[in-house]
Structure 1
Amino acid sequence: MWFQTATFYEVPVYAFFDSDGDGVGDLPGITAKLDYLEWLGIDCVWLLPFYPSPMVDGGYDVSDLTGVRTEFGTLDDVATLVAEIHARGMRAMADVIVNHTSDQHPWFQAARQPGSPTRDWYVWSDTDEKYADARVIFIDTQDSNWAWDEVAGAYYWHRFYAEQPDLNFDNPEVRQAVKDVIRFWLDIGFDGLRMDAIPYLFEREGTISENLPETHAFLKEVRAMMDAEYTDRIMLAEANQPPADVVAYLGEGDECHMAYHFPIMPTLYMALKRETAVDIVKALEATPDIPDNCQWGVFLRNHDELTLEMVTEEDRRYMLEHYAPDPAMKKNVGIRRRLMPLLDNDRARFQLLHGVLLTLPGSPFLYYGDELGMGDNYRLNDRDGVRTPMQWTAGPGAGFSDAEPEDFYLPVIDDPRYAPDQVNVVDQRADDRSLLHWTRSMLASRRHHPVFSTGRFELIDLGNPAVLSYRRWSSDDDIMVVANFSTVETRVGLEEPVADAVSGEVFTDEVGLSGHEFRWLRPVGAEQRDGSTDRAGQ
C-alpha cells in the first residue's frame, strides 16, 4: 500500500508560509508551496492541527473538532489544499485529536454545567485520588492529572494540560461523536489520520491507564468503519510506548495501519556521542515483527521535544548532559532542540543519520525545514523554539510573510549559524551541493530502491561496535547498509565485490568509511535503478 513506501513531511500550518500578510502561516500558504514539496520528493503531507484552538498546547487543545482556525483559512481552503496535494500525486494526512478537547470546547462548557445531561462526556470525580497509578506526562507544568472545576463542583481528568480535559470513552455517545469527526475529515479527502495521544482513551483503577484493552477494541471498530466506508485510507498511532505495547496498536493488521517507532530515535543520538552502535542494535533487536499490511513510522525530530521517555534513567542523564547542557534546553522528559543544532551543525552527522533513517524498516518522517538544516531558539516558550517560521529566502522575514517581522507569530531564527541569510530554500535550491539538494537526491535514491520500504531486514555483526550494518533484501534487490558512528576512519571487509548503490563506485576486498560516513552497498552486477549522482555520505 502507498503508506509503506511513502516519505512523510510534517507541516505546522502556522509556520510554513503566510499568504495574507498577517504574520501567521495558513492553509493557502501551504497550497502555494506544494510545488516545492513535490520537487523535494515528498509523498505525503502531514498537517498539524488547524482547528479552532486557544493555543495552549500548539493547537492540540481543540475547541471545534470539525472547524478551521480563522487565521488559517476556511473549510474550503482545506478542501482546496487536499485537492491540490492529490493533483501532484501526493497524499494528505491530518492530525485528529480524540483523547481530549480544549476546556473551551462547547462539549466541555455544556458538561460542566450543574445537572448537565452531557456531564459524562468527560471524566469527573469528587476526589483527585482516583487512577493514582497513571503518570503525569507534562511534569514541568502539571502536578496532577486532575483539575478542579468551580462551575461543575468536581474534579475532571486530563492527561496533558489542565486546559485539555479528557473525553470519557466509556460513554457510547462520545465514541459515536468521535467516529463522526473521523468520517468528517475522511469525507474532505484526507488519505490518513494521525491518531494523537491514542494510548490514553480509557481509565481503569489499578492500572497506569494506558494501552488498555478497551482502547484496542475501539480502534478495531474505527478501522472496520474506515475499511467498509472508504478506500485506501490509513490511521497512524501516536503511541510513545515500549515496542511490545506499540505493536499492539497494529493488532493483527486490523487496527492502525502505522505506528511510530519511538525507541529507535534516541539511540541514534546516543550512538553519535558514544561512538558505538550498540544501543541502536539493541533497539532493533527488540523491535517486534508487524503484520505485512502495516508499517513503522521512523523519524529524527518532530514538533515536540526529543522525547526520552523510552530510555533508561542512565541513558536519559547521558542524553541531557550531552545534548542539553543548558537547562533551558530541557522540556518535560526530553530536549527542545531541532535536528541540526543537536548535531552541532555538522553535515556529516546529518547525512549519517539520514543514511540510516531512510533505510530502516519503516516509512521516514521529515520535519519541515530539517531538509535545510534550520536552527532553533530554545529560549522561546514551551516547544515554540522548534516551530519558528520556514526560511524561504535570505531577507529579514525569511520570505515567510509580507508582515513586519515583529508581527510574526514567532520570531525568525537569529542565531548567525542558522539565520535566513545562511539557511534558506532559494539559496540552497540554486546550489547543487547544498544540504537541500543532498536530501532530495537521497529521497530519490530511496524511491529507486523499494527494498528499503518493504524488504526483509537482517542485522549484520561486522565485529566493530562503531559500525552499524544491516541487510535489506527482496527477490528484486539486495543492499547492505554500513554506517560508521565513530569519528575515526574504519575499514569493512567484503565477502564479494560490491558497488555503492548511489555513486556506482566498486569495491572488491574492503570498503573504507571515514568518520561519520555511511554507504549503501549492492552486489556487483545487480541492476542499477538509482539515477542519483551524489556520493552517499560525502
Structure 2
Amino acid sequence: MTKKWWQNAVVYQVYPRSYQDSNGDGIGDLAGLTQRLPYIKRLGADVIWLNPIYKSPDKDNGYDISDYQSIQSAYGTMADFDHLLDSAHQQGLKLLMDLVVNHTSDQHDWFQQSRQSKDNPYADYYIWRDPVDGHEPNNWGSYFSGSAWTFEPKRNQYYLHLFAPGQPDLNWENPQVRQEVWNLMRFWLDKGVDGFRMDVINLISKPAGLPDAPQAPGAAYGDSQPIVSDGPKLNDYLREMNDEVLSHYDVMTVGEMPGSTPKDAITYTGLNANELNMVFQFEHVGLSPNPDARLGKWNAVPVKLTELKDSLSRWQTALDGKGWNSLYWNNHDQPRAVSRFGNDTPEFRERSAKMLATTLHMMQGTPYVYEGEELGMTNVHYTQLDQYEDLESLNAYHELVDDQHIVDQPTMLKYLSHISRDNARTPMHWDDTTNAGFTTGQPWFALNPNYPTINAADQLDQDDSVFNYYRRLIALRHSSDLIVLGSYEELDPKDDQVFAYKRHYQEQTLLVMSNFTDQTVTRDYGQAEASERLIGNYADDQGTTLRPYETKVYVFK
C-alpha cells in the first residue's frame, strides 16, 4: 500500500465559537485560533478541522449557511481567515474546512429566490412538494424533532428540511445546484485549504418518490434516516465531485455518513473509488439507544463494552486494504468521551482518558482529537433546561416531555446530561483564571465549572498529564508503519471488561490491552514474550495484571 499523507496524519478539531476569543465579545474567533496554533503544533497534530465559519443566522451554530464565501462577522473577516491559513501553513499545519451542502440556511439568497414562485431561476434549487390531502407530502421526521416539511404559502408547497426549518435541503438532482457546489469548493481550495469534512454528505441523494419512512408505534413522525441515507445517486454525485473538483487538488476528504455500513463505506472510500478518502460513521457512538424507539438516542445507559468492541472491530476488519477508517470518540455533536465511554470521576478521569486514547489511536485509520479531549475535559452535567443552548436538545425536550408526555422532566434532563451535544460545546479550558482564559468578556456559553482543575496550563509541563500522553501517542503513530498500516485482529470479543486486539505488519505485531473497568483484572496474551512495552498509563508494568482503566501496548518483533 502506498501511504497517503492523510493516512499518517492526526486531525485536531476546532469548534471556533468555543476555542479562543481574541476581542472580548465572548465568542471564539479566527484571530483567537491563530494565537493558539503553537498549542496545536505542540500537541503534534497535522491537520485542523475547522467547524463552519461562514455567514449564518446561527440557528444551528453555523450549520445553516447564508453565504458560503463570506466569514461570519463574529469570527472575524476574510483577512483574518487568510492570516490563519497562512500562519497554519507556516507552522506545518493543514486546514480542513467544513462543507455543508446537504442544506443551506433559509436566509441564503438561493432559498429567498426559490420560495417566491415555481417559475424563477432558483425554483428547483430545493426540494418542493405539493400538499397531500392538505398535509405534508410524507411522514418524514426531522433529525431535530417534528416534521421534516414546512409549508410556504407563496408557492402553496412544502419544502424539505431534514434538520431545522431554517435549513432547507438542496435539490442535488438539479445540475445547476451541483455546479454551484463545485464553484464554492473551488473558491476555498484555490485559497489553499487542504480539504473538506463534509457534513451529512450521504443524505444528498433522496430516494425516488420520497416514500414514507418506518414509524414506531405512537411516534408522531417516521424515522427518515433509513430512507434518506446512502441514496441511489450518492456514488454518482461523489464521483462527479471528485472528477470536477477534488482530483485537481492534493487534499483530504472525510464524509459524515449517519447510517452508513462498512459495505457502504468501501464504495465511497475504496482505495481506487475516486470518491472520498474516509467517512465518519456513527455506529459506535449510536450504541445504547433507548429501548423505547420513540425516544431514539435519548438514554443514559452506558455502552456495553462487548457491543463497542464488536462495532469498532467490524469496521477495522472490513475496511482493511479496501478503504480507510476515521477514528474518533467525540466531536461537536457527541458528549465528552471520558464521560460516556470512560469514568469522569476525579479518581479515574485521567487514567480512563488515557486508556480511551490508546485504544483508539492504536487502530488503523486517521485519528481525530476534539478540542479539550487532549485534556480529559468532561461532560458539563447540567441539571436545568435553561442551561442548554443546543437546538436538537431543546427540541427533543419539548417534543418528548411537553408535547407527547413520553418521558418525565427529571428523566429527560438526565438523558440530556448524558448525551446532549452541549456537553462538547462549552468553552475551551486554557488556564484557571476567570473564564478559563477563553475570554475577557461574558462567554457566549457557560464554562464547565471544573476548569480550575482541568486546563491546558496545568498540563503542558506535567510529564504524566493527559495532554502529554496524547503527544506520545501521536508521536508513536508518526514513527510507525505498524500503527498506521497494520492489519487488525480482535481478541476475546465476548470479554466484557477488557478490549484487546493485535495489529500485524510485515514481521511485527502490536498488542493493545485496555481495561474498561474500575476493577483489577488478569489477562495473559503472551505479553511476557514482547520485545518492549511501547506505552502505558501506569508507570510500571505488572505483566498479566490490568489495574483500573489500565492500558498498555506491546511490540513483538
* Pairwise TM-score range, normalised by the shorter structure: 0.7 to 0.9
| Range that drifts further, 193-202 or 368-377 | 368-377
Structure 1 residue corresponding to 2:389, chosen from 376, 381, 387? 381
Change (3 A) 1:44 1:435: same
| Residue 122, structure 1, aligned to residue 126, structure 2 | yes
| Residue 490, structure 1, aligned to residue 522, structure 2 | yes
Change (3 A) 1:396 1:376: farther
Contact 1:54 1:61 in 2 (8 A): yes
- Map Cα deviations across residues 399-432 of structure 1 (whole Å, 9 max, x no partner): 11222xxx32112222xxx2x3212111211322
| Residue 459, structure 1, aligned to residue 479, structure 2 | no
2:473 & 2:55 partners in 1: Cα distance? 37
AA at the equivalent of 2:127: V
Report matched runs for 1:303-318 at 5 Å: 303-304=332-333, 306=334
1:277 & 1:432 partners in 2: Cα distance? 33
Contact 2:338 2:356 in 1 (8 A): no
Q: Which residue of 1 aligns with 2:264?
A: 245
Q: Which residue of 1 aligns with 2:243?
A: 224
Q: Which residue of 1 aligns with 2:160?
A: 157
The Cα of 1:474 is off from its aligned counterpart by 1.4
| Residue 399, structure 1, aligned to residue 437, structure 2 | yes
| Residue 469, structure 1, aligned to residue 511, structure 2 | no
Change (3 A) 1:250 1:276: closer
1:248 & 1:156 partners in 2: Cα distance? 30
Q: Which residue of 2 aligns with 1:138?
A: 144
AA at the equivalent of 1:442: L
Change (3 A) 1:26 1:188: same
TM-score by length of 1: 0.82
Structure 2 counterpart SS, 1:478 = strand
The Cα of 1:88 is off from its aligned counterpart by 1.5
Change (3 A) 1:135 1:216: farther
Change (3 A) 1:477 1:268: farther
1:462 & 1:153 partners in 2: Cα distance? 55
AA at the equivalent of 2:81: V
| Range that drifts further, 31-40 or 498-507 | 498-507
The Cα of 1:288 is off from its aligned counterpart by 6.0
1:241 & 1:55 partners in 2: Cα distance? 26
Report matched runs for 1:92-491 at 5 Å: 92-114=95-117, 115-127=119-131, 132=138, 134-139=140-145, 143-203=146-206, 204-205=208-209, 208-230=227-249, 232-243=250-261, 244-251=263-270, 252-265=272-285, 276-277=305-306, 279-281=308-310, 283-285=312-314, 289-290=318-319, 292=321, 294-304=323-333, 306=334, 337-342=335-340, 343-345=343-345, 346-377=349-380, 378=382, 379-382=387-390, 383-403=421-441, 407-414=442-449, 418=450, 420-461=451-492, 464-475=495-506, 477-486=508-517, 487-491=519-523
Contact 2:71 2:77 in 1 (8 A): yes
Structure 2 counterpart SS, 1:165 = coil
Contact 1:133 1:206 in 2 (8 A): no
Contact 1:250 1:294 in 2 (8 A): yes
- Map Cα deviations across residues 261-283 of structure 1 (whole Å, 9 max, x no partner): 3223456999x957754541354
AA at the equivalent of 2:169: D
- Map Cα deviations across residues 194-215 of structure 1 (whole Å, 9 max, x no partner): 1111121122226513211312
Structure 1 counterpart SS, 2:13 = strand
Q: Which residue of 1 aligns with 2:408?
A: none
1:452 & 1:245 partners in 2: Cα distance? 25
AA at the equivalent of 1:213: P
The Cα of 1:392 is off from its aligned counterpart by 1.1
Structure 1 counterpart SS, 2:373 = coil
The Cα of 1:368 is off from its aligned counterpart by 0.4
AA at the equivalent of 1:164: Q
2:248 & 2:315 partners in 1: Cα distance? 36
| Residue 518, structure 1, aligned to residue 551, structure 2 | yes
1:514 & 1:55 partners in 2: Cα distance? 46
Change (3 A) 1:489 1:279: same
Structure 2 counterpart SS, 1:516 = coil
AA at the equivalent of 2:123: R
1:470 & 1:188 partners in 2: Cα distance? 42
| Range that drifts further, 52-61 or 365-374 | 365-374
| Range that drifts further, 99-108 or 438-447 | 438-447
- Map Cα deviations across residues 340-397 of structure 1 (whole Å, 9 max, x no partner): 3333232222222111110122111111011112234343222334212211121112
AA at the equivalent of 1:411: A
- Map Cα deviations across residues 36-55 of structure 1 (whole Å, 9 max, x no partner): 00001111100000001111
The Cα of 1:163 is off from its aligned counterpart by 0.5
1:199 & 1:275 partners in 2: Cα distance? 28
The Cα of 1:63 is off from its aligned counterpart by 0.5
2:311 & 2:129 partners in 1: Cα distance? 43
| Range that drifts further, 75-84 or 455-464 | 455-464
Q: Which residue of 2 aligns with 1:529?
A: none
Contact 1:246 1:259 in 2 (8 A): yes
2:539 & 2:379 partners in 1: Cα distance? 37
Q: Which residue of 1 aligns with 2:66?
A: 63
Contact 1:247 1:259 in 2 (8 A): no
AA at the equivalent of 2:138: A
Change (3 A) 1:181 1:233: same
1:506 & 1:375 partners in 2: Cα distance? 27
The Cα of 1:152 is off from its aligned counterpart by 3.1
| Range that drifts further, 350-359 or 383-392 | 383-392
Change (3 A) 1:219 1:133: farther
Contact 2:527 2:544 in 1 (8 A): no
1:268 & 1:494 partners in 2: Cα distance? 33
1:449 & 1:116 partners in 2: Cα distance? 57
1:26 & 1:279 partners in 2: Cα distance? 36
Q: Please, which runs of 5 or more residues in structure 2 have no aligned partner?
A: 212-226, 290-298, 391-420
1:462 & 1:197 partners in 2: Cα distance? 31
